Structures are given as C-alpha cells and as structure tokens.
Structure 1
Amino acid sequence: MTRKKVAIVCPTHRDARELKRLDYAQSIDLIWYGDDVSEHLEEFEPLRFLEDAARDLFDKNLSGIISTDDYPGSILGSILAQEFHFLGPRPEVVIACQHKYRSRILQRQVVPDSTPLFSLIGPEASGFVDGEIELPFPFFIKPVKSFFSILARTVSCEEDVLDSLNRARNHWEVFVPPLAKLTKQYGDFSMRADCFIAEEILVGSQVTVEGYVENGCATILGVVDSVMFPGTFCFQRFEYPSRLSELVQERMGDTAARLMKEIGFNNSLFNIEMMYDSSRDKISIIEINPRMSSQFADLYEKVDGVNSYEIQLKLALGTPVSYSRRNGKYAVAASFVLRTFADQRITRVPGNKEIKIVEERFPDARIELFGAPGDMLSDLFQDGVSYRYGVINLGGMNWGELTTFFKECEKTLTFTFEG
C-alpha cells in the first residue's frame, strides 16, 4: 500500500516534537517545507514563498498540506492546499479570521450576543475611523494583526491611544505587510491592517474553546482554562479540562460551532478564546484563531487519549475523525508557563542531565526552554510586559498532584538570572 505524503508548511518546533511521538504519523511521509517565518518577517515575501512552494512541492505526490503556525503559516498552508485541490479551510476565511476587525464583523453577523462592542482606530489619529461605535474610556485596544498579546493594553485616555499608535510604528512596518499582501491577493474584503481595534473591556474567566469542522460538521474537542498571574493579562498556566460548569462549556461550544460553520471554515482545527462573566452569565468572544493550538495538543492526549495533531492530519487526508473524551491516562493536564516580570540576563539554563531527570520521572512531559546563557530575556520573543523563558506540560490524576509535579519540575530545572 502506497504511503500518503503530507507537507508541513512553516513547521515549528512543536510540529517536529509531536509528530515524532505520534503513532498515526509514522504511517505517513511528512515533507517539511520552509521554516518558522514569524521569526524573520521583516525579510519575508509571502507571494514569492507561495510561488516557490507550488513549484517545489509539485512533484512530491502529496495527499495533503497543513500548517499549525499562527501567522503567516496558517494562511500560506490554506492557499497551497487550495491550489493543490486538497482538503482544508478556504484562504479567504483564514485571512478574515486573522484580521481582527474583519473577524469581529463576521462574529457580529453570526453571534451578536457573544460579540463585544468594537471599533477601528486608524494609524494616523486617535479618532475612530469606522463611524459605527464610539466607546467610552477606558477600553481595550490591540493591533488588527498581532500575536502573543503584543501591543494589547487597556487605555484610559486619548494620550494612551496616541502612545500606543507611536509604539506600533515598527510593528506595522515589519509584522503587517505579509497580511496586507495576502489579503489583497487572496482575501474577499478590502481593509488595511495597520490599525488598532478598540473593544469594550471584558471581565471574567478566560478560556480557549478548541474544535474542528469536518465536511461542514463542527465538533468541539474541549475547553481549556487560562489562568493569569494576579493583576495581569499574562498567562500563568492553561488547565484542561475546564472547571467551568458543563452547561457554560456547552454554550461556549455551541457558539463556537455555529460561528465557524456559518463563516465557512471547513476541514481543519480551530480555537476560539472566550470570556465568561458569571455576574452577567454572559459569554463573549475574545478572538478566533483559524488553526489548532499546538501548545495544547498533548493536553488532549493526556486527558482524552487523542493528540490533536492526529486530528489535523486526518482532516487533511479526508480520513474520518473519531473523538471521544476522557480516555487518556490522566484526569487533568496543564501547560505551565515559566515567566518573570523583570528583564534579566540569563546566566544558567537547565542542562541535559536535569532535563533527562524530569523526562524519566514524567515520561509524558513536554519541556520547552527558551534562551541561552548571556541572553537578555528581552532578546527573546516576548509580549512586551513580561518575560517568558519556558513551558512545561504535565498530566496528573488531580489538580493537587499536578501542582506538586510542576513544583518538582521547576526545582529540578534550574535557571539563574542577573540584573
């Protein structure tokens, strides 16, 4: 029997790690194409990349193309899949989801009760430019296109808005051009991306609802809780399964499924960040991500028994997906973020011996360590507010046990800093 081939466009370190461990992937020939271009966007030409990829992959006898990269990989992967007549979401839908203002318009059309008030702020002035809504201060602003919460903040006055506009100049010059070019060529709307979106401030419990659409039918994998460092918007850990009530989770899932089906998203994974305000019993959408959450892939495997990378491959190949919950080795799982709020120089990172100790103690752990001795934490890719230097994913039989496991890992994996 001929082995199927799948191209992984703009592969990430998590792609390599998870697909190497995944039994299902061993029956597939994986073709790695490109790299994580988000690390060098200032020199990236997306249209040239697509032209080169179409030529280079033409004679590979592929059966599917995927990308788990947020930006611009998810857009590039959808374009190439369409050009090769493979299964996957339509490029114009992925682009619309990536453009936060266009995405809000679609949300308001489909699920208005879950869409917060929003407006557009242009790059040259602090005034609202869409003329639809004028939000009172304070409100939340973020770039129309960004990631890692870069330049996202609460603003209390016009001076705060002007300050954000000034801070965004380099971001718009480096980060936004690929989206602008891809939108012009493959999008079904015409909107500039060098803007901010202003939104009413949301409060409550933040979560990520992840699911997939297969041949027009949406299925929800689960709901992951986002736990913040107190008094901040910075993630401390992500917990699965959610501690919200089953009823609230079902409502969130229904909202996500209806939205993604109505906007035409198909044959791929998605995740939607949401907020639940218990005081008003209200669910609000934070944003749509038209891709799988690679950071959570093994959380589903730990608790439910299926890694979401397997689902993504099956969707790309047209293989029917079967998913049921709570069939994993663990009752709970979490992705813990190693983070500090002071910019410091790294003087020591955990060595191979320490990492091996943790991996032998916790064979299903995932360990990501960022930076090297001599690096300033600010030299790494950060959100501009805090400084992340590692991620540890673990499973356990209860939350108390999981916390104990994390503390043990944290104690073993020794970092030191100065300054």
Structure 2
Amino acid sequence: MTNVFVVGLDERNLALLRDVSPPGCRFRALFGKSEVMPAAADFPALRDEAHRRLDAFGGSIDAIIGYWDFPTTSLVPVLCADYGLPGPRLEPVVKCEHKYWSRLEQRKVTDAHPQFELVDPADDTGLPSGLRFPVWLKPVKSYSSVLSFRVADLAGLCRTVAEIWQGMDQVGKSFDAVLGGLELPPEVAAAGGRACLAEEEIGGAQVTAEGYCFHGEPHVYGVVDSVRYPGSASFLRYQYPSRLPAPVQQRIVDISTRVIRQIGLDSTTFNIEFFWDQSADALKILEINPRLSQSHAPLFELVDGVSNHHCMVRLALDEEPEMPRGRGSYPVAAKCFLRSFSDGVVRGAPTAQHLAQLRREVPEVVVEVAAHEGTRLSELAVQDSYSYELATCYLGGRDEAELVEKFHRCSELLPFTVDELPAGVRG
C-alpha cells in the first residue's frame, strides 16, 4: 500500500484522485478542506498538528500533496522536507506566492510583466513614481482575487489602501511566519508579508498555462481561457482548450519555461496566468501559482481523458507524468460561474429535484452550489472583490456555442432568489 497524504482533502477532489490513482495507492486526509481554508489558518500550528498526525500514523508515509492555495502551498514543501519525501523546496514556492518577489524574479528573464511598485499601506497616500492610473492594488500575498482592486484615481487609492490594510492580516500574519524561516533578499525582507503592490493595468484575453516541472525540466500541458462577465472583473467561465492562436500559445510555453527555471521551482505542478493584448500582440504575466488549478481538473478529464491531478500524484511519487491529449469525451469543456453582483440573503436555492432535472437534460454536468438558502452572500468564503459566487457548472460540448447554450439552460434550471441588501453592495 502506497499512502499519499492530502492537505485539504475534499470529496470532489478525492474522486478525481482515485480516477488517476496508481495500483495500490491510498489517499488519506492529513487535513480536511475546512482546516486549511480560509487562508488565515495559523501556519506554525498547522505544521505542528501535521507532525502530530503523521507521527501517530502506523504505516508508511510515501507522499504528501495538496491543491489549494496558501497555507497548503507552503505546508506541502515544508512537510515533504521534514519527512524526506519528493516535493518542491519552500523557497521557490514562496518566490511564486509573494507577488513582489515573484515580479523581481520574472524581471530577470522576461519583459512579459506589468510595471509594478510597492505601496506601504500604513504610510503611503500617493501613487508610486513610474505608475499612472488606473492601477491594480493588491496585497503581496492574497488568494482567489480577495482584496484585489482596480483603482482609477487618488481618492480611490486612499480608500482601497485603507480597506486592504484592514483585511491583509487575515493572510499576512501567517505568511510572515513562513517568510521568517527563509533567507530573503533585502528588498523582500523589507516588504514582508503585509505590504501592497501597485501594478499597471493590463488587459486582453486572459489565459492560464498549466504545467509541471520534473527533475528541473518544465513542461506545459495545456492552456485554459478565462472568460469574464462583460464589463466585469469576475469570471464567467474557464474554457479548455484555449482559443488563442497557436504561435501565441507557444510563446506562453516559452515564457513559462524561462520563468519556472529562473525561480527554481521543481517537483511540482504550477499554473501561470497571462493576459494577451491582441492589438499590441503583447503577453503579460498576471501571477504564478506553485500548484495545479483544481478548478481546471474536470476540464482536462472531459477533453483529454485524464485530470491534471495525474501530474500531482506522479510527481509526489517521483515519477514523470504522461498527460494524454484529446482522449476525452468532448472537444471542449468549461467551468461556468453563476454569480450575484450585489450582496443579499438567499431566500431560494436549487433543490435536489432541480439538480436531478438538470442532469437528465445535461448528463455530464457537475454542479457545485455555493450559496444555500439563508446564506448572506457577503459571508461566503473565498469570493473576489466584485461579485458573489452562487454556483458553478462543469460542462462538455462539441464547440463553444454548445457550451454557452448548455450554461444558459443550467441558469434556467438552477433557480436562486436573493433579497438584495444595499448596505452590502460591492464594486
């Protein structure tokens, strides 16, 4: 029996892991999802508790994996090192996670990044020299676009800095505990885990390169489109494979390979988010994540026949992944988001009968309802700064038009009634 411990195990991802499981492999929850989410979890306490649970286990400890954002991304390399297991080193992971450090590393090998400067939330009230409005303001460590805002003028900058300053301790304090165990460059040490980054606004088609690095060699196995609601920063769907021209996708692969080598990330999956400005034919990196995107996993399964969890498991066992292409049931697939753009209380949500009817009409659909009856939308965990996620639907289709048609049907058959609360409106 090969025992693979999972940080943040949940039922949906357990099913995906079992689908790619080598013979004799058993997945065990080191922590459940609720124990490592939200990201405010105390990192030193998690590490101590992980040691206690692993040391109490009577069998072999063969691998440790995780697919969530911080603190999972930092906990996995620490534990792999503690127990002598294959896995990434902590420093390259943190180079990806710390947005300022990541930009400094990117700048060494590519110009495919926005202009950026640090902003001290405690002191600064003006825009750093070299930047012009509009800009995006974000903590140097955050997750799922939380506390990430577009700022158009000085008044907005002051308001946004104050809001970020109030909320950044949720992650920053725990992230500082991780940084304290590393030798940091002086400029990163000065910023710490509770600083703000201002970046020039970039736009265009947003895509994500999914890949892995094995024995020092990066590989990109797929590019996924991120389609936004019109006029919004919130995602409408993730769609695979990407519709970008093949030469642009090859440039994404080349840039991704250079950056991952520069950072020194190895023995792990990664995903890198890009914007492609078609008019200028320019690529810009949005961010680098030292993990796979579990949101994309069903898309790879629907199109290629195997989820990207295959890569994570193989790397943890010190084996090179082998991702197939086009062996799934559908030429295209998408994860679609049903959202509310105002705060409120959910008075009606889809029932088991609604879900059963939807599956009869769209057999491959997988629905995850986030907002249940009685839920106050602003109290939902892990939401972006401009909307609230009601439900998500994973779909496959012959082409993009069929995906859109299926999602429209999902929207009709997943009834939500929300009593809006003006005091909670965001955006």
Tell me the residue number matched to 1:174. Answer: 170
Distance 1:294 1:222 in 2: 14
Q: Is the 8 A contact 1:91 1:187 kept in 2?
A: no
CA distance in 1, matches of 2:343, 2:288: 31
State which drifts further: 92-101 or 150-159: 150-159
Moved more, 77-86 or 348-357: 348-357
In 2, Cα distance between the equivalents of 1:48 and 1:11? 18
What is the CA-CA distance between 1:153 and the residue it aligns to?
Answer: 2.0
Q: 2:60 aligned with 1:64, yes or no?
A: no
Residue identity matched to 1:9: V
Cα contact 2:99–2:197 (8 A) shared by 1: yes
**Structure 1 CA distance for aligned equivalents of residues 183 and 389 of structure 2:** 34
Measured in 1, the distance between the counterparts of 2:30 and 2:347 equals: 35
Quickly say closer, same or farther: Cα 1:25–1:413, change in 2 above 3 A. farther
> 1:124/1:251 Cα in 2 relative to 1: closer, same or farther (>3 Å)?
same
DSSP-derived class of the 2:325 partner: coil
- Matching of residues 164-313 of structure 1 within 5 Å: 164-186=160-182, 188-189=184-185, 190=189, 191-313=191-313
Aligned match for 2:154, one of 155, 158, 178: 158
CA distance in 2, matches of 1:153, 1:13: 32
Report if the CA contact (8 A) 1:126-1:161 is conserved.
Answer: no
Partner SS for 1:34: strand
Alpha carbons 2:39, 2:69 under 8 Å: kept: no
Are 2:125 and 2:158, in contact at CA under 8 Å, matched by a contact in 1? Answer: no
Does residue 4 (structure 1) correspond to residue 2 (structure 2)? The answer is yes
Please tell me whether the aligned partners of residues 238 and 334 of structure 2 are also in contact (alpha carbons under 8 angstroms). Answer: yes
For 1:338, give the aligned amino acid: L
CA distance in 1, matches of 2:284, 2:365: 32
TM-score, L = length of structure 1 = 0.93
Partners of 2:332 and 2:32 lie apart in 1 by 33
Offset of residue 127 of structure 1? 5.5
- Kept in 2, the 8 Å contact 1:119–1:128? The answer is no
Change (3 A) 1:379 1:48: closer
1:367 and 2:367 correspond? yes
* 1:381-400 pair list within 5 angstroms: 381=381, 382-400=383-401
Instruction: State the shift of 1:187 in Å.
Output: 5.7
1:148 maps to: 144
Q: TM-score if structure 2 supplies the norm length?
A: 0.91
Distance of 2:165 and 2:180 partners within structure 1: 21
| Change in 2 beyond 3 A, CA 1:376/1:300 | same
CA shift digits 1:254-309 (9 cap, x unpaired):
11122112211111111011010111111110010111000000101111122111
Q: Structure 1 residues 372, 334: CA separation in 2 closer, same or farther (over 3 Å shift)?
A: same
Cα deviation, 1:62-116, whole Å, max 9, x if unaligned, reads 11101101111111011101211211111111112111011110111122x2121
Q: Name structure 1 gaps, 5 residues minimum.
A: none
Number of corresponding residues: 412
Deviations 1:178-211 (A, max 9, x none): 1000111246442412111111111211111111
Q: Percent identity?
A: 32
Separation (CA, whole Å) in 1 of partners of 2:242 and 2:362: 23
CA distance in 2, matches of 1:389, 1:337: 8
1:80 and 2:76 are equivalent in the alignment = no
Worse-superposed segment, 322-331 or 262-271:
322-331
Tell me the CA shift for residue 338 of structure 1. Answer: 0.6
The 5 A counterparts of 1:346-357 are 346-357=346-357
In the other structure, the counterpart of 1:96 is 95
Higher mean C-alpha deviation, range 63-72 or range 143-152: 143-152
2:179/2:193 contact within 8 Å kept: no
Letter in 2 for 1:162: C
SS in 1 for 2:312: helix
Where does residue 29 of structure 1 map in the other structure? 26
Distance in 2, matches of 1:392 and 1:26, equals: 31
Q: Is the counterpart of residue 138 in structure 1 residue 134 in structure 2? A: yes
Instruction: Say if 1:314 and 1:41 are closer, same or farther in 2 by CA, change over 3 A.
Output: closer
Deviation of residue 399 (structure 1)?
1.4
Contact persistence 1:126–1:158 (CA under 8 A): no
Q: Which SS does the other structure have where 1:295 is aligned?
A: coil
Q: Which residue of 1 aligns with 2:43?
A: 46
Change (3 A) 1:227 1:290: same
C-alpha RMSD of matched pairs (Å): 2.0
One-letter code of the match for 2:132?
P
- SS state of the match for residue 114, structure 1? coil
Evaluate the alpha carbon distance shift between residue 137 and residue 219 of structure 1 in structure 2; reply closer, same or farther with a 3 A threshold: same
Q: Measure, in 1, the Cα distance between the counterparts of 2:398 and 2:134.
A: 42
Q: Distance in 2 between matches of 1:38 and 1:157?
A: 36
Counterparts of 1:98 and 1:315 in 2: how far apart (Å)? 20
* Cα shift readout 1:218-274 (whole Å, capped 9, x = no counterpart): 111211111111111111111111111000001001111221122111111110110
